[in-house]
Amino acid sequence: MKKDHIRELVVLSGKGGTGKTSISASFAVLAGKAVLTDCDVDAADLHLLLRPEVEQRHAFFSGNEAVIRQQDCTGCGTCLDICRFKAINTTGASYQVDPVACEGCGVCVRFCPASAIDFPKRNCGEWMVSTTRCGPMVHAHLGIAAENSGKLVSTVREQAWCIAVDKRIPLIISDGPPGIGCPVIASMSGVSLALVVTEPTVSGLHDLQRVLALARHFSVPAAVCVNKWDINPGQTERIEAAARSAGAEVTGRIRYDRSVTQAQHQQKAVVELTTAAADDIRLVWKQTAAML
C-alpha cells in the first residue's frame, strides 16, 4: 500500500485526564482495522485498555551521558569545577557522574586532563511492537528522568507507518500526549487529522485554544470533541463556538457517564459496554471518520 493511501488520526488535548485514551481505545474498536500507537511515551496507558501482547522489544538510545573511568581518574576535580549542572558527585577522592543530573553536554569529556571520561549513548527506554484485539500496536516506555520524548514519539510513528504499509492497513490511530510541547509536536506534524478532546471548563477552553493554534501553525486539520459536556452546557457552547471560530470542526459531545470508569476497571474500551457514553462516542467516530 502506498503512503498516500494511509490516513493518520491523532487524539490530543491541552491537558491530561480529558479522556483521550478512552476515546482512542473506542476508536480502535470501531475502526475494525487500524494500526494503533501510544504517543504519550512519558505516561503511556493505552495498553491498560487494549492489553497488548508484546512481540518485539527494542532499546531506545538518544543523547549521551558521561561516565568516569575510576581506574584512570586522577582526582583533579576539573569536571566538578566546570559542570554547570552539578552532576559530579565526590566520595573522598573518588568522582562519579549523577546520571539523572547529567545533561549530556560533554564539557567534562572535552576538558578532562586525563581523558578519563567516556561518553556513551544514553539508554532512555524502549519501544515495542504488539498485537491487540483491534490490530497491531506500537508503544513505548520512556525511562525515569529520561529526555528526548519527542524523538521516541517519532520512532513510534515511523514504525507504525512501516507496519501500515507492510500489512496494507489504511488507518493509523494515535493516542497522543497532553499539552503543546515537543512530544505533541512530534505526534501532530504531518497527520491527516487531529481530534482535540476538551472539557467544559475555563481551563479547558484555554488549553483547547493553545492546541488549535499549534495545529494551525503546522497546517494540520483539527476537530474538537467536548467530553462530559453535560456538567456545564453553557461552557460547552462557548467552547464549540471558539472551536468553529478557530477553523476547527466540532464532531460531537460525550456525556458524563460513570460506566467509563467501569470499562477501565474491566480493561475494555467504552464502546465494548452498553452505555450512554458509548453511543455518544460512536457518533463522534462517525463524524471523525467522515473527515478522514
Q: For the chain, report the end-to-end CA distance as a whole number of angstroms.
A: 17
Task: Say if pTM beats, i.e. exceeds, 0.85.
Answer: yes
- Residue range 157-177: mean pLDDT, rounded: 97
| Helices of type H across the chain | 20-31, 47-50, 78-82, 107-111, 149-167, 182-188, 202-217, 233-245, 259-265, 276-291
Q: What is the mean pLDDT of the chain?
A: 95
- Using the structure block, give the residue that is written with the C-alpha cell 464532531: 251
CATH topology of domain 3-61+124-291: Rossmann fold (3.40.50)
Q: What is the pLDDT of residue 145?
A: 74
Average pLDDT over residues 40-57: 96
Query: How large a percentage of the chain has pLDDT more than 70?
Result: 100
The CATH-assigned architecture of domain 66-119 is 2-Layer Sandwich (3.30)
Domain segments of the chain as ranges: 3-61+124-291, 66-119
Same fold, 3-61+124-291 and 66-119: no
Note the pLDDT of residue 26: 98
d(CA 67, CA 20): 40
**At residue 171, what are phi and psi to the nearest 5 degrees?**
-140, 135
Q: Give tens-digit pLDDT for 83-99.
A: 999 999 998 889 999 99
